[in-house]
Amino acid sequence: MNMWPADSKAPARACDRHPLKRGAATWLAAGLIATWTWPAACGENARLANARATYRSSLAKIETDTADKIETWPARYLQALKELQEQYRKEGDIEGWQAVEQEIKRFQSDRTVNRNTLVTEPAGLRVLQESWVDVVAIYTLQKSQDIMALTRKYTEYLGGLQKELTIAGQIEDALAVNKEMKEVQDNPVVLAAEFAIAEWEARKAAQTPSPPASTPPMEAPEKTKPVPSEIRVYEDTRQVPPLPGGKMERLALRPPKLSSHLRNLQVTAVVVSIPKTEEQNARFRRAAIRSKEIRTQHSVRMTLRLPTGAPLLTNVTVAVQGFAISAQEEEGRRLPQLVGTKQVSVPRLGDTIVTLDFPPMITTQHIVEARRVWFLDAERRSGLTFGGIIVSVFDAGGRLIYQGCSDPSLNEFGLTRPVP
């Protein structure tokens, strides 16, 4: 069935009928009576007015359906987990049942499914998890594809209507249809959807592995260069190099709740963030799209020492866990994701300062902006931003003697023993 209104033989224009009667069923179905806008001035072509109303209500329905999917996916994922758990129970697979139970508890705590949370075994749980990774991004992409499909169908209808009206000599109506076509093409919602699809296709192409390079000619082997340690330890403050240029932030390390420390260590930490931005711009008649990829290196420097007169410690292990948060997180609602853990052994720790430089942690954020002079700016963010660190210090026997978190949301993620 054609979604656009059938041609009417009646001579009446759109304004000859009460607005709540004309097309009321369509608006009620979309739940948009509350935001009803009165039709255009008397004289507007009825077929154009009806087609525009159908297009706008269909756009609203796409937005509503996508918002519903995004809002309800956690409940649907939990339901899928419970169904898999029941399957393992019926098969007598207690290890599979326990693995799913652990995943249910983990998800109820942080409400995320990403590459860092995937399990290795059992295979059934791994397959289920992978089907829900990046589900919000997938729903958003599907929304963009639905918007573009709807818009193509609408503009095709308008093109045919414009041609028909021109041939019939209804030039004023044909010009109104032409104006509607241009406004639809310049609509920031449509531009953002078009750009989101193009951005996704570009990322997909970039992930395609390139063919292997041809074997280089035989050359004399070069002398092997020494590989520097990932973590640099400075026991002499005179050897500490200056921090790299960038935005520096002091991290306030606080002990997690219900923690007890055997040692009163004096620990400080700073992070230097160095962003690198790549920007692409696309201009249309009355609108513009800007896409930015912000790749940021976050370098952590720590100092630690014992209080004056405290007994010397040897073979101390220092571990730093780096975390990121989604760029789409609402303010005040942080769900940290572990990016990586770095660990180093410090031979001697006394009342003199020991400085540690950790390798950079990298986060990538994507921002797509649609701008139009008489429309509000539309902005979409994805990717990760810096979420903080946890510092854990262990003595030679592997006992935790210090732990500090740079953000309260990290309290429950600290190590209890050194990484093997």
Mean pLDDT of 281-306: 77
Q: Which of 70, 14, 65, 74 has the alpha carbon at shortest distance from 41?
A: 14
Asked if 291 and 280 touch (Cβ cutoff 8 Å), the reply is yes
pLDDT at residue 224 above 90?
no
Task: Give me the percent of the chain exceeding a pLDDT of 90.
Answer: 24
- Kindly report the average pLDDT of the chain as a whole number: 76
The pLDDT > 70 percentage for the chain reads 74
pLDDT in tens, 405-417: 998 888 888 888 8
Give long-range contacts, CB 8 A cutoff, 24+ apart: 162-169.
165/45
For the residues 228-257, what does the mean pLDDT come to? 82
Segment of 46-60, 195-209, 254-268, 354-368 carrying the highest mean pLDDT: 46-60
Q: What is the pLDDT of residue 30?
A: 35
- Identify the CA nearest to 301 among candidates 358, 239, 344: 358
At 229, the pLDDT band (50, 70, 90 cuts) reads very low
Least confidently predicted of 92-101, 122-131, 327-336: 327-336
**Per-residue pLDDT at 328:** 60
Mean pLDDT of 142-167: 92
pLDDT (mean) for 275-292: 69
- pTM here? 0.51
Whether the link from the prior residue into 122 is cis, omega within 30° of 0, is yes
Which one of 10-24, 187-201, 383-397 scores highest in mean pLDDT?
A: 383-397
Higher pLDDT, 210 or 282: 282
Residue 354 CA to residue 267 CA, distance in Å, equals 10
Strands 232-234 and 354-357: antiparallel
- The 3-state secondary structure of the chain reads CCCCCCCCCCCCCHHHCCCCCCCHHHHHHHCCHHHCCCCCCCCCCHHHHHHHHHHHHHHHHHHHHHHHHHHHHHHHHHHHHHHHHHHHHHHCCHHHHHHHHHHHHHHHHHCCCCHHHCCCCCHHHHHHHHCCCCHHHHHHHHHHHHHHHHHHHHHHHHHHHHHHHHHCCCHHHHHHHHHHHHHHHCCHHHHHHHHHHHHHHHHHHHHCCCCCCCCCCCCCCCCCCCCCCCCEEECCHHHCCCCCCCEEEEECCECCCCCCCCCCCEEEEEEEEEEEEEEEEEECCCEEEEEEEEEEEEEEEEEEECCCCCCCEEEEEEEEEEEEEECCCCCCCCCCEEEEEEEEEEEEECCCCEEEECCCEEEEEEEEEEEECCEEEEEEEEEEEEEEEEEEEECCCCCEEEEEECCHHHHHHCCCCCCC
Choose from 28-42, 148-162, 198-212, 324-338 the range with maximum mean pLDDT: 148-162
pLDDT for res 282: 61
Mean of the pLDDT values across residues 200-219? 50
Say if residues 128 and 80 touch (Cβ distance below 8 Å).
yes
Highest mean pLDDT (candidates 75-89, 271-285, 287-301): 75-89
Q: Using CB atoms within 10 A of its CB, is residue 134 exposed (0-12), middle (13-18) or buried (19+)?
A: middle
**Which phi and psi angles does 417 have, rounded to 5°?**
-155, 160
pLDDT, greater one: 317 or 120: 317
Q: Where are the domains of the chain?
A: 1-185, 232-413
Q: Are 325 and 387 in contact (CB under 8 A)?
A: yes
Identify which has the larger pLDDT, 290 or 298: 298
Q: Would you say residue 330 has pLDDT above 70?
A: no
User: Which of the pair, 201 or 77, is modelled with greater confidence?
Assistant: 77
CA 146 to chain CA mean position, Å? 20
- pLDDT bracket for residue 259 (50, 70, 90): low
| Residue 370 or 77, more confident | 77
Q: What is the amino acid identity at position 292?
A: K
- pLDDT for 37 equals 37
In tens, the pLDDT along 344-364 reads: 899 988 888 999 998 888 888
Non-local CB neighbours of 142 within 8 Å, separated by 6+ positions? 66
pLDDT surpasses 90 at 113? no
Give strand pairing partners of 43: none
Structure tokens at 191: 């531009």
Q: What gap in Å lies between CA 114 and CA 132, rounded to an integer? A: 8
As given in the structure block, the two tokens for residue 148 are 């573009």
- For residue 243, pLDDT over 60 is answered with yes
